[in-house]
Amino acid sequence: MTDPVIQLTNINKSFSGFKVLSNINLTVNAGEILCLVGENGCGKSTLIKIISGVYEADEGRITLNGRYYPSLIPTDSIKEGIHVIYQDFSVFPNLTVAENIALGTQLVQGKKFIDWPRIRDDAAQSLELIGVNIDLDEEVGKLPVAQKQIVAISRAILQDARLIIMDEPTTALTQKEIMRLYTIIDNLSRRGIAVIFVSHKLDEVFRISRRIAVIRNGEMVVDERVENFQKEKLVYYMTGQEIEVEAFHFFPKGYESVLRVENLTIDGAFYDVSFELLRGEILGITGQLGSGRTELAKALFGILKTRSGRIFVNGKPVKFRSIQDALAEKIAYVPEDRLTEGLFMNRSVTDNVNAAIVDSMTRLSFLIDEKKMVEEAEKQIAELSVKAPSVDVLANTFSGGNQQRIVMAKWLATRPEILILNGPTVGVDVKSKSEIHRIVKSLAHEGFAVIMISDDIGELLTTTNRIIVMNSGRMIYETNTAETDSETLESRITE
C-alpha cells in the first residue's frame, strides 16, 4: 500500500454564508491518476485552491505526505510537492524553455549567482524524464500551447512534484497532442507522481483515469475505481439526472441547398474546399488545430477574404468582403472563444443579445429603443433556456454553459438561416452540453442549416448527420455520421 500524498478529511468551505464545500473526504496515493469531475459551480475549483493553499478551509483536516497542516498556505503546498497547472500554465513568455523550467529552483534555493550551465542541465534532465525534446533556448512565448504545458509539467518535476493537478489540460490541444499528454501522465504515474486530472470530457476521463471522484453541489457523491463506472452512470452522479443522448436524425424535406462552396481557397489556410449544406442539416467539420477549419468558418462569415473559389447562398453567387455581407445573406457565426470574441463580459445580457442588431433598435429620433432591446433579450434567453434572474445581469456572472447560450442568442437575434458554431461546448459541463445539443438539433429541425466545428468526436457522432475531416487545409474525408465511428474518425484526424 503506497503512502497518501494528500488526505482531506471533512473539508468545509463557505463564502458569504453560502456553503461551497460540505464534508469533503479525499485521499490520493503516490502514482495515482484521479479524475475530478463535476458540473461548473460544483466546488472543484474551490477544492483545488484549498489543496494548493490559496483558500483556507473553514473546517476539516489536511494532511500532506503524512504531515498535518492546521493552516495551509501556498508555500507549504509547494514545499510538499503539490503543483497546480492552470490553463494559462503560468509560464514567462519572454524567458527561454530552460529558464522557465529551472531558474525558479535556483532562486528558491537562495543562490547568490545563477549557475547557467546547471540550469540547462536540470531543464534537459527534467524534459528527458517525461520523454520530450524541446529546444532549451527557445522563448516560451513562441511555443505552441502543448509545449508550454510540457514546460509547466517539467518545472513541477524539477521542483520535486509529488502531486500535479491539471485543470482542463486538453482544451486547446490537438488529438496528437492529447495522446502525447496521456503518455506523459502515464510516465508520471510510473515514477510515483500522482495526478489529479480535471475535465468535462468524459471520453478522456475514462481513457486516462484510474479513479473518478465526483463532486455535486459541493458534496463528494462518489469516489470509485474507473471500472465501476459506465458513462451514463457517471453523468447521473454529476447531474443527479438521467440524461439521454440521442443521435441527430436529418429528415430532408425535398432537396433545398442553402449553402454551396466550390474550390474555396485562402493561401496558407485552406485549399480547394468544396461542399454543400442543405436546409435542416447539421454538418460537422473537424480536424486538428491548424487544419484550416476555423479559417474556413471565418471566410464564410466575411472575416477572412478568400483568394479563389465561389460561394452560393440559396443558389445565388455571393462575395463576402465583410461581416455585414455575410449577415445580409442571413449567416451567423458563434466563435470558438466566447470570452474574447463572443461576449462583452462587463455588459448586461440585454446589451450582449442586441449587440449585432443594435442598428435595428433605434427610433426615428435615432435613440435606442431600450424597451425593444429588453423584449428581444427576454425572448432569446427564454427560447435558449438561459438561467438568468434578469436581463440586466452582467455576462461575466454566468457559468460557461449559460455564457455560450448568450452568444448563441446574440446571433440568433439576427434571424439567420445558416448558423456556424465553432467549438460550441468547449469548457461547459455535461448538463449544459446536453442542453446546447438539444437546442442545436431543435434549430435544425426548424429549418436552420448548421455547421458545427468541433474536435469532440462524441459530440460530432451524436449531433450531426454528416462529417468532414480537414487536414493541412484540405478536405480529406467526408462521411454520413451513421456510417462511421469514433475509431475511424480519430484515425482520419491524426493521419
Give strand ranges (E) for 120-179: 163-167
Res. 347: pLDDT tops 60 = yes
Whether 348 and 392 have beta carbons less than 8 Å apart is answered as: yes
Whether 468 and 285 have beta carbons less than 8 Å apart is answered as: yes
Domain 4-239 has CATH 3.50.50.60: no
Q: What is the pLDDT of the chain when averaged over all its residues?
A: 89
Mean pLDDT of 236-243: 86
Q: Residue 300 corresponds to which amino acid?
A: L
pLDDT of residue 107: 63
Cell numbers at 71, concatenated: 493552516
Domains 4-239 and 257-494 share a fold: yes
257-494 has which CATH code? Answer: 3.40.50.300
Q: Residue 221 corresponds to which amino acid?
A: V
C-alpha to C-alpha distance for 259 and 358, rounded to whole angstroms: 27
For the chain, the structural domain boundaries read 4-239, 257-494
* Bridge-based pairing state of the strands 308-313 and 316-318: antiparallel
Chain mean position to CA 42? 17
> Who contacts 375 (Cβ-Cβ below 8 Å, separation ≥6)?
none
Res. 191: pLDDT tops 80 = yes
DSSP 8-state class, residue 368:
B
Provide the b/e sequence for 426-452 (b: ≥16 CB within 10 Å): bbbbbbbbbbbbebbbebbeeebbbbb
pTM: 0.77
Give strand ranges (E) for 17-102: 18-29, 33-37, 59-64, 67-69, 82-85
C-alpha to C-alpha distance for 416 and 332, rounded to whole angstroms: 6
pLDDT of residue 463: 95
Half-sphere exposure of 107 (CA within 13 A, CB side): 6
Whether 8 and 61 have beta carbons less than 8 Å apart is answered as: yes
Percent of the chain past pLDDT 90, that is, above it, reads 52
pLDDT of residue 456: 86
> 273-313, pLDDT tens digit by residue?
999 999 999 999 999 878 899 999 999 999 999 999 999 99
Percent of the chain past pLDDT 70, that is, above it, reads 97
C-alpha to C-alpha distance for 226 and 179, rounded to whole angstroms: 19
Q: Which of 32-46, 94-108, 113-127 has the lowest mean pLDDT?
A: 94-108
C-alpha to C-alpha distance for 75 and 407, rounded to whole angstroms: 40
CB neighbourhood size of 331 (10 A): 27
Res. 362: pLDDT tops 80 = no
pLDDT of residue 322: 92
> 24-83, pLDDT tens digit by residue?
999 999 999 999 999 888 899 899 999 999 999 999 999 999 999 998 999 899 999 999
> Who contacts 57 (Cβ-Cβ below 8 Å, separation ≥6)?
11, 12, 13, 21, 50, 72
> 394-414, pLDDT tens digit by residue?
888 887 788 888 988 898 888
Mean pLDDT of 431-458: 91
How deeply is 366 buried, as exposed, middle or buried, from its count of CB atoms within 10 A (0-12, 13-18, 19+)? exposed
Higher-confidence position of 205 and 361: 205
Mean pLDDT of 349-378: 81
- Please report which confidence band the pLDDT of residue 106 belongs to, taking 50, 70 and 90 as the band edges: low
C-alpha to C-alpha distance for 151 and 157, rounded to whole angstroms: 10
Cell numbers at 53, concatenated: 493553499
